[in-house]
Structure 1
Amino acid sequence: MQLFLLSALTMCAFAANSILTRLAVNGGHIDPAGFALVRVGAGALVLAVMVTLRGRRLPLLRRNRIGGAVSLSVYMIGFSLAYLTLDAGLGALILFGAVQITMFSFAALTGAAPTPRQVTGAAAAFAGLVLVLWPDGEGSTDILGAGLMVIAGVGWAAYTIIGRTSGDPLAATSANFLLCFPVMLILPVFAGGHFSMTGLLLGVLCGAVTSGLGYALWYAVLARIDSGTAAVAQLIVPIIAILAGALLLGEPLSLTLVIATALVLGGIAWALSAGSVQADRR
């Protein structure tokens, strides 16, 4: 039960990133590049302070640190630039589809092939995402934006896979954010650079709480679940974001959305039950 609650809290934090980004960027309070830069900077600062208060050192030169920082940078940059041309729904579909495919492919290549339950559960959950997020056909998808979001998905999948070997989730996440920040300084080159106090505050909240602390919690959860389950669990994030958008932003809640939510939650429940079945058979 504790693992389920921690996982649920982490997925809510991930969904909150989408809500905060929509409020800041779509509301015209700050440009995407500036928001991403503030997000990473705030996350790095808060996490570094927390690690220091715990009396621990930042593991900047540990094994996999470069991989974690680079994959986080790839995700942040790809995500930010892709949303300059993609709508939120299609972007979420491409992102989490790329995450799932990358993680399941990695599991298969390393000998930890997904179980039949995980495969069918992922298929049902992904079908729910397709149902609710598939574009309506009015206008063409921007190829460059879609490619950038695929790259972001691969980056987040790599960050997730690397995080499974982290010994200290909080310290590892803090080090990744600190090493990621210099790379993020290239982002303002791609945008005009406008911002307001509201945009800055939303960026700080997104970086310090829902990103920094959320990612540290995700690293802690990853040590207790397998890659296939981690891939499927993340599919619930777009659904949470859409439901939160309906409640907080007044976005429409349709029957299609309800059906899609049932498919995603059912698929995730089916995939998560794979671990319990295997444990019972031992």
Structure 2
Amino acid sequence: MRILLLTLLAMIAFAANSLLSRLALVDGAISAELFTVIRLVSGATTLTLILLLTQGRRVFYSQWKSACYSGVSLFLYALLFSIAYTRLTTGAGALILFGAVQFSLLGAHLIQGYRFRTLEWVGIGISCCGFISLVGPSSSFLSIWPVLCMLISGLSWASFTLLAKQSQSALPATTKGFIMASLLSLTLIPWLFDSGSFNTKAMMYAILSGAITSGLGYVLWYAVVPKISLLSASLSQLLVPAIAMLMGCVFLQEALDLHSITSMLLILGGIALTLYQQHASQSLKD
């Protein structure tokens, strides 16, 4: 019961990232660049304090080479995530992001030599149909630029996940990735002085997104992951778009229509089917 509760809290934190981003960026209250800088610096500060308090300074000084690569991935994810949320609704953005992450990870699996079974391809096909329904010509509420930004953001997040997976310890790897990403975010300084960029409330949302729903959210998630199966970890992340969509409906009065719900069910249902079949195939081999 405790693990289930912690998993749910982590998923709520991830969904809240989308909500806080949308709250901060709606109507140009803050620029995407400034939001990105504040979020990354807040996350890096929080994770560094947690790492030093729990594991000491010795762990802090090692494995910086891999952190450079993960920092680039994290920076691209955070920046494009923010740019996309200047236009996308909370639920649609989260759905595109997590769909892109899961497809990227499945693609990496394919490149590594895994061969999908028929039912897995069926699941991927269902998800693709849902995605086409979500972003196709009939979806007048979406435009191509923010969708493309969120897709590349998801690809970057998947890259960060794969790099972190190669590390022996998730917390140090994530912390150093955030530090490198926050340093890279300083290149955005020339774009930080747009008109209306310094809205106090929006800046607080950025700090909360970095320190709480990103920093503490990742710590919580990495504490839970070793205690649940890989299938459970993958499937639980599919809850995030649904939670984000509900949050957007409640806090931002975003429309929750049949079209968006159907697209969400197709995308997440297809991915869930693929993950389940993949897990079943692996279990038979073992």
TM-score by length of 2: 0.79
Cα distance between partner residues in 2 of 1:211 and 1:263: 27
CA distance in 1, matches of 2:40, 2:142: 32
SS at match of 2:198: coil
**Farther off after superposition, 102-111 or 90-99:** 90-99
Residues 54 and 264 of structure 1: CA distance in aligned 2, closer, same or farther (over 3 Å): same
Match status 1:18 vs 2:6: no
- Out of 277, 280, 283, the residue aligned to residue 279 of structure 1 is 283
> Alpha-carbon deviations, 1:127-174, whole Å to 9, x = none?
44544555645499455x554434322211101111222332222211
Alignment of 1:111-150 (within 5 A): 111-132=113-134, 134=136, 136=138, 138=140, 141-143=143-145, 145-150=146-151
Q: Could you say which residue in structure 2 is the equivalent of 1:33?
A: 33
In structure 1, give the amino acid aligned to 2:245: I
- The aligned residue for residue 243 of structure 2 is 240
Unaligned runs of 5+ in 2: none
Aligned 8 A contact 1:59 1:171 in 2: yes
- 1:92 positional shift: 4.8
1:158 equivalent in structure 2: 159
Shift of 1:272: 4.3
Q: Is the 8 A contact 2:235 2:272 kept in 1?
A: no
> Deviation at 1:232?
6.7
CA distance in structure 2 between the partners assigned to 1:241 and 1:140 by the alignment: 17
1:104 aligns with one of 97, 103, 106: 106
Q: Is the 8 A contact 2:100 2:151 kept in 1?
A: yes
Q: Where does residue 70 of structure 2 map in the other structure?
A: 68
Partner amino acid for 1:211?
Answer: S
Which residue of 1 is the match for residue 79 of structure 2? 77
SS in 2 for 1:251: coil
Going from structure 1 to structure 2, the CA distance change for 1:165 and 1:276 (only over 3 Å counts) comes to same
When the two chains are superposed, the root-mean-square deviation of aligned CA atoms in Å is: 3.4
Aligned partners of 2:88 and 2:255: how far apart in 1? 16
Following TM superposition, by how much is the alpha carbon of 1:176 offset from its aligned partner in structure 2, in angstroms? 1.2
Structure 1 residues 207 and 2: CA distance shift in structure 2, 3 A: same
1:66-102 Cα distance to aligned partner (Å, 9 max, x none)? 2211211121122233445x43366556544543332
CA 1:61–1:70 in 2, change beyond 3 Å: closer, same or farther?
Answer: farther
CA separation of 1:121/1:12 partners in 2, compared to 1, >3 Å: closer, same or farther? farther
Tell me which residue corresponds to 2:218: 215
Q: Summarize deviations over 1:205-234 as a string: whole Å, max 9, x none.
A: 1001111122334455666665x9877764
Deviations 1:245-267 (A, max 9, x none): 11232223223344344445544
- SS state at 2:15 partner: helix
Higher helix share: 2
Q: 1:43 to 1:31 in 2, by over 3 A?
A: same
Task: Give the counterpart letter for 2:50 in structure 1.
Answer: M
Unaligned 5+ runs, structure 1: none
- Judge conservation of contact 1:229–1:271 (CA < 8 Å) in 2: no
Structure 1 vs Structure 2: percent identity of aligned residues? 34
TM score, norm. by length of structure 1: 0.80
